[in-house]
């Protein structure tokens, strides 16, 4: 009798999978950043560059030549981003931040590019920026 139940469960799962989707999906409507014309804080990753405005959720500042930040946008989505060297990260008014001044919760803005790593990284997609700024 157990084999019969398993068969019915399997048949039901196959039917549900077959009826699931007809391939029609609506693309996400992105909010567009006025300054750049790029998607702003997208929930799904778009093709090409996009802009993130959010806060620093966590950070790894070593090596200082390629720090890594986890940026959290208002919706709660996070992005792990490799940024420019620490001395090149400025406040939005152009003042240098200084290594000792980086703390979680700082407001940031960055244009994010996507880079696909080679076989040594498992061909994973990485997010990088060379214009991360701290918003006061």
State whether residue 126 is helix, strand or coil. strand
The answer to whether residue 1 is domain-embedded is: no
Q: Note down the domain range covering 94.
A: 32-135
- Tell me, what CATH number does 62's domain have? 2.40.50.140
The pLDDT confidence band at residue 116, using thresholds 50, 70 and 90, is confident
Length of the chain, please? 136
pLDDT per residue over 36-92, tens digit each? 999 999 999 999 999 999 999 999 999 999 999 999 999 999 999 999 999 999 999
The answer to whether residue 62 is domain-embedded is: yes
Give the pLDDT confidence score for residue 27 in this predicted structure.
67
Count up the domains in the chain and report the number.
1
The answer to whether residue 58 is domain-embedded is: yes
The answer to whether residue 5 is domain-embedded is: no
Closest CA to 96 of 83, 82, 108, 86: 86
The answer to whether residue 18 is domain-embedded is: no
Give the pLDDT confidence score for residue 76 in this predicted structure.
96
Give the pLDDT confidence score for residue 20 in this predicted structure.
60
Statement: residue 25 has pLDDT above 60: no
């Amino acid at each position: 009798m157990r084999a019969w139940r398993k068969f019915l469960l399997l048949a039901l799962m196959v039917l549900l999978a077959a009826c699931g989707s007809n391939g029609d999906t609506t693309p996400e409507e992105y909010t567009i950043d006025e300054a750049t014309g790029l998607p702003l804080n997208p929930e799904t990753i778009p093709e090409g560059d996009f802009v993130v405005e959010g806060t620093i959720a966590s950070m790894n500042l070593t090596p200082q030549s390629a720090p890594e930040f986890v940026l959290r946008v208002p919706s709660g989505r996070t992005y792990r981003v490799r940024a420019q060297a620490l001395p090149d990260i400025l406040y939005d008014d152009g003042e240098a931040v200084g290594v000792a001044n980086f703390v979680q919760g700082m407001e940031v803005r960055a244009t994010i590019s996507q880079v696909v790593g080679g076989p040594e990284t498992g061909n994973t997609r990485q997010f990088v920026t060379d214009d991360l700024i701290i918003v006061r």
